[in-house]
């Protein structure tokens, strides 16, 4: 949920995604789902000379599992908040695991 | 905050805000400051340096040549399924 | 929720994990992003970076696990494909 929230907070921002086939795509983030599938508009290959076919896409849907990295806009990230959310999320998962253990 | 280290993920939690080293699939290594992680080991790092190592074979001499390329990123989300190992960098 | 609903009945371009580039009309999809394409054409990118259009006479069903991305294809771009545009081949996906 942490990263779902993070990407949700970045909707409308321009991000660059590097895929596991080395393609780099830049575009405006328009939506995200629980699998961290991302949808971009104003799509462009980061290096248009290499993959001009990417400019033939108006919007595109990228499956979360093919993403290697996402380059995030640094000025849009509240690192303090991120850190706190990460600790909270880790504690929440532990709590859930404990409950599951007790049920067994 | 619970400072106990019982599970591997606890070690990651204790590295929040610190510079860490990540070994990735495809001969990639990352160094940067850890800001967030989840149970899948998806991660956000800042001030990242990526080192990519490629081994090329010289056609004439058949020698293996190691080539490294470096890239820098201000703020990077890394999908957890590409991660092999995480460590605090001072041990390296 | 990110879905493919707004792509249905539109011309889409799909890149598969093995590096194929297919253009077709999106007929249907499911939760796992398995998709059905009709009127498909494959754009084969050869070694010299040129693009060849091959008509596929069948309906293509692509498994979600084999899909890298699906994009809404800008038909204005068709001419540029025709005019011998060059592009780097798409590498296969390495997990």
C93 chain-B contacts, CB cut-off 8 A: none
Helices A79-103 and A2-9 meet at what angle, rounded to 10? 150
- Residue A20 pLDDT > 80, yes or no? yes
B79 contacts B45 by C-beta, under 8 angstroms: no
For residue A87, name the pLDDT band (cuts at 50, 70, 90): very high
pLDDT value for C13? 94
B44 located within any domain: yes
Q: Is C5 on the interface with B (CB under 8 A)?
A: no
* Cβ <8 Å between C69 and A62: yes
Q: Share the mean pLDDT of chain A.
A: 92
B2 chain-A contacts, CB cut-off 8 A: 91
CATH code: domain of residue B21: 2.30.30.100
pLDDT value for B69? 95
pLDDT value for B31? 96
pLDDT value for B92? 46
Find the closest chain B residue to C94 by CA distance: B26
Domain that holds residue B30: 9-87
Q: Please state the rounded mean pLDDT for residues A84-88.
A: 94
Of C19, C69, C90, the CB nearest to A61: C69
B2 located within any domain: no
Q: Share the mean pLDDT of chain B.
A: 90
Range of lowest pLDDT (A23-27, B66-70, C91-95)? C91-95
Q: What is the DSSP string of C37-62?
A: EEEEEEEEE-TTSBEEEEE--S-EEE
Q: Please state the rounded mean pLDDT for residues A89-100.
A: 89
User: A38 by DSSP, 3-state: which?
Assistant: strand
- Residue A44 pLDDT > 90, yes or no? no
User: B8 by DSSP, 3-state: which?
Assistant: helix
- Residue B21 pLDDT > 50, yes or no? yes
Share of chain C above pLDDT 90, in %: 55
Q: Please state the rounded mean pLDDT for residues C2-25.
A: 93
Mutate: best of B16, B36, B37, B80, partner A, most A CBs <10 A: B36
Of A69, A85, A91, the CB nearest to B76: A69
Find the closest chain B residue to A22 by CA distance: B26
Q: Share the mean pLDDT of chain C.
A: 88
- Residue C94 pLDDT > 80, yes or no? yes
- Residue A34 pLDDT > 90, yes or no? yes
The per-residue pLDDT for range B43-62, each reduced to its tens digit, is 999 999 999 999 888 888 88
- Here the ipTM equals 0.92
Neighboring chains of A (3 or more beta-carbon pairs < 8 A): B, C
Interface size A-B, in CB pairs within 8 Å, comes to 73
Q: Please state the rounded mean pLDDT for residues B24-37.
A: 96
Q: Please state the rounded mean pLDDT for residues B56-84.
A: 93
- Residue C30 pLDDT > 80, yes or no? yes
Neighboring chains of B (3 or more beta-carbon pairs < 8 A): A, C
Query: Which numeric CATH code is attached to C4-74?
Result: 2.30.30.100
Strands A14-19 and A24-32: antiparallel
Question: Both tokens of residue C47?
Answer: 């070694």
B61 located within any domain: yes
Classify each residue of A56-84 as buried b or exposed e, where b means 16 or more C-beta atoms within 10 Å of its C-beta. Answer: bbbbbbbbbbbbbbbbbeeeebebeebbe
CA–CA separation, C38 and B44 (whole Å): 40
- Residue C70 pLDDT > 50, yes or no? yes
Q: Which residue pairs, CB below 8 angstroms and at least 24 apart, start in A28-35?
A: A30/A59, A31/C1, A31/C2, A32/A4, A32/A7, A32/A8, A32/C2, A33/A4, A33/C1, A33/C2, A33/C3, A34/A4, A35/A63, A35/A64, A35/A65
For residue B1, name the pLDDT band (cuts at 50, 70, 90): low
A33 chain-C contacts, CB cut-off 8 A: 1-3
Note the helical H segments in chain B: 8-14
CA–CA separation, A98 and A104 (whole Å): 10
Q: Is A11 on the interface with C (CB under 8 A)?
A: no
Q: How many structural domains are present in chain B?
A: 1
Report the gap between the CA of C85 and the closest CA in chain B (Å).
30
For residue C79, name the pLDDT band (cuts at 50, 70, 90): confident
Q: Please state the rounded mean pLDDT for residues B27-43.
A: 96
B49 located within any domain: yes
B45 located within any domain: yes
Of C74, C85, C90, the CB nearest to A23: C90
């Amino acid at each position: 949920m942490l990263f779902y929230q993070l990407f949700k907070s970045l909707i409308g921002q321009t991000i660059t995604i590097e895929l596991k086939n080395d393609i780099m795509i830049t575009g405006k983030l328009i939506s995200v789902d629980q699998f961290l599938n991302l949808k971009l508009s104003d799509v462009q290959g980061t290096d248009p000379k290499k993959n001009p076919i990417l400019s033939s896409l108006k919007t595109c849907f990228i499956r979360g599992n093919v993403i290697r990295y996402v380059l995030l806009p640094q000025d849009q990230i509240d690192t303090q908040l991120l850190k706190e959310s990460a600790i909270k999320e880790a504690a929440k998962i532990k709590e859930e695991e404990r409950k599951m253990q007790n049920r067994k | 905050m619970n400072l106990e280290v019982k599970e591997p993920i606890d070690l990651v939690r204790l590295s929040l805000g610190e510079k860490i080293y990540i070994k990735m699939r495809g001969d990639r290594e990352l160094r940067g400051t850890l800001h967030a992680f989840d149970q899948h080991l998806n991660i956000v790092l800042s001030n990242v340096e990526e080192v990519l190592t490629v081994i090329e074979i010289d056609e004439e001499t058949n020698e293996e040549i190691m080539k490294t390329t470096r890239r820098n990123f201000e703020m990077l989300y890394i999908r957890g399924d590409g991660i092999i190992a995480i460590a605090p960098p001072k041990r390296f | 929720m990110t879905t493919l609903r707004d792509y249905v009945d539109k011309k889409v371009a799909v890149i598969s994990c093995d590096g194929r580039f297919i253009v077709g009309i999106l007929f249907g999809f499911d939760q796992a992003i398995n998709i059905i394409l009709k009127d498909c054409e494959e754009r084969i990118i050869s070694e010299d970076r040129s693009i060849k259009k091959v008509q596929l006479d069948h309906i293509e069903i692509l498994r979600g696990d084999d899909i890298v991305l699906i994009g809404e294809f800008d038909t204005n771009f068709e001419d540029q494909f025709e005019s011998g545009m060059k592009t780097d081949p798409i590498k296969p996906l390495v997990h």
